[in-house]
Structure 1
Amino acid sequence: MTYVLVLVVLTLALPWGAAAVARRLAGALPPRHACWTLTVAAVLMAGGTISALIGLFHVPFLASLERIPLVRVLEVWPAAVPVACVAGVIMLLQLVLLVRRWFRQRSLIKHAWQSAAEGTGDGDVLVVPGADVDAFALPGYRGRSGRVVVTSGMVRALRHGEREVLLAHERAHLSDRHHLLSAVVDLATTVHPAVRGVRASLGFHLERWADEAAAAAVGNRKVAAAAIARAALAGASQERRTSGGYPLLSVTTGPVPQRVEALLGLKPEVPQGGARRAGALGLAATVAVSGLGALALAYGLHEYVEYAAIAVRGS
């Protein structure tokens, strides 16, 4: 049984290492590839954790399938039932947190739509009156298409060319559905705490992805960098709309100095063959870390029950 317990510990502990690897890999990739790498890594880490817990929860049921009396199972592994109960409680707690986080996300979007109801504009842009300095990408809700919400305070804080950068940035969030990647990773944090580090890294790379799209749209990286810096400075005191760790995506969020430095110091990022290979290898490593541990645990539990069944039949 020691073998199974070691697998359990490794399966639940490895996501911490996998998260660090995913963040390091994301830093070496173009923003688009980095975001998808982090999202897939978060999903795999959450899936591996759930698989490990399901395996533990099913130990008594596996024994019953092999027609092993529960009393005999407890003689070999006295902690079988307590461990299965703990795994069941953890999964129930994860489900409650997952549902709660989902409703918090939906509530955040609902309230954002309500606050933007008084806005006016043309097309996909809503300008909300007021002195607040804010702008964010508002995802679609209940049949309504996504909108770029900008306060009149933000409009006044930026110059004409800088406003184009702001709109292009927020439109990139909407067109590339960045809010879905953010929501998926945010939900995965309810399964394993290691995913929280991935969520923070994803937020930065989503903003970098939109920064590059905005720079390409206006055709001037210096203007884009200046607009992002000015918008962030103007909205520095603005309280961000957030639900837990799930914010509405905005040009003013994330580590702005690093984003500005990237725009000023880098050419437009084009995925090269080396970057694609690195991304593929990174994802493969994440699969190995997050998935194989869970498979090994399932195999170990199966072998343990088989061994116990042979022992019972031979006695």
Structure 2
Amino acid sequence: MLWRRARTLTAAALEAACMPAEDDLIVIEGEAPNAFAIPGLPGRVVVSTGMLHTLDETERHILLAHERAHLACRHYAFVALAQFGAAANPLLRPLATAVTYTVERWADENAAAATGDRERVARTVGKAALAAHDAPGRAPGAALAILGRRSPLAAAGPVPRRVAALLAPPFGRHPLLAAATAAVLAITALSTAEAAHDLHLLLEAVGA
């Protein structure tokens, strides 16, 4: 899994570097509505003419803000690490799926902050998803919410839940939750290091 992800990201970076772009944007000819970000140094945002014709000028700005957020925040790294963890431990597969959904929500919120219109971003997300639904090579994927709270949208797909989240009031900052998350991650890292050290001592004892 690590080799496959590293090879994929390296190929994407090389492809992005070879693509001539103006302000990191590449427009490709094609009737199928499509838009995606290619990680690299620098990264590229690729949008088809079909998608540009589907959206109006404001919606195009929102789309570009969303895709550029993926590049600026290194979302591909979060997804790759989560998928690698799920490959090492199958119990982490729901977490990997949640990370994939959450980076989309992250990019949605960045687009909302950049444009100042959450409702317009919600409409653009829904409109672009409907336009791309029948595009060749694109298949809708399921995603799980991080906290798994029961709600009328608990069984809905990722796009309806993203739209509902954008139409709801934005979340406030929760420093205690952030501190608790950091503490859990630190404890997990220390526990892993301690377990590795204990295993090393055990193997030394067995070898002796």
Q: TM-score range by the shorter chain?
A: 0.7 to 0.9
Q: Where is the helix percentage greater, Structure 1 or Structure 2?
A: 1
Q: How far does the alpha carbon of each residue in 1:273-294 deviate from its partner, in whole angstroms, 9 at most, with x for none?
A: xx22212223323443564266
Shift of 1:259: 0.6
Partners of 1:205 and 1:160 in 2: how far apart? 26
* Matched position secondary structure for 2:27: strand
Gaps of 5+ in 2: 140-156
Equivalences for 1:231-270 in 2 at 5 Å? 231-238=128-135, 239-240=137-138, 255-267=158-170, 269-270=171-172
Equivalent residues of 1:102, 1:187 under 8 A apart: no
Match of 2:149 in 1: none
Match of 1:202 in 2: 99
Go from structure 1 to structure 2 and tell me whether the alpha carbon gap of 1:111 and 1:155 turns closer, same or farther (over 3 Å shift).
farther
* Matched position secondary structure for 2:107: helix
Partners of 1:158 and 1:304 in 2: how far apart? 61
Match of 1:244 in 2: none
1:106 maps onto 2:3 in alignment: no
Pick one of 43, 53, 61 that aligns with 1:146. 43
How many correspondences in the alignment?
A: 190
Match of 1:280 in 2: 179
1:181 maps onto 2:78 in alignment: yes
Shift of 1:130: 0.9
Partners of 1:183 and 1:130 in 2: how far apart? 29
Match of 1:133 in 2: 33
1:222 maps onto 2:119 in alignment: yes
Partners of 2:50 and 2:15 in 1: how far apart? 17
Shift of 1:304: 9.5
Letter of the aligned partner of 2:45 in structure 1? V
Shift of 1:303: 7.2
Match of 1:57 in 2: none
Partners of 1:206 and 1:264 in 2: how far apart? 18
Letter of the aligned partner of 1:260 in structure 2? V
Go from structure 1 to structure 2 and tell me whether the alpha carbon gap of 1:160 and 1:291 turns closer, same or farther (over 3 Å shift).
same
> Over the residues paired in the alignment, what is the CA RMSD in angstroms?
3.2
Match of 2:148 in 1: none
Letter of the aligned partner of 1:208 in structure 2? R
Go from structure 1 to structure 2 and tell me whether the alpha carbon gap of 1:98 and 1:265 turns closer, same or farther (over 3 Å shift).
same
Shift of 1:263: 0.6
Shift of 1:133: 1.0
Letter of the aligned partner of 2:115 in structure 1? V
Shift of 1:297: 6.8
Match of 1:155 in 2: 52
Shift of 1:157: 1.1
TM-score with structure 1 setting the length: 0.52
Partners of 2:168 and 2:25 in 1: how far apart? 31
Equivalent residues of 2:9, 2:39 under 8 A apart: no
TM-score with structure 2 setting the length: 0.76
Partners of 2:115 and 2:161 in 1: how far apart? 20
Q: Percent identity?
A: 35
* Matched position secondary structure for 2:36: strand
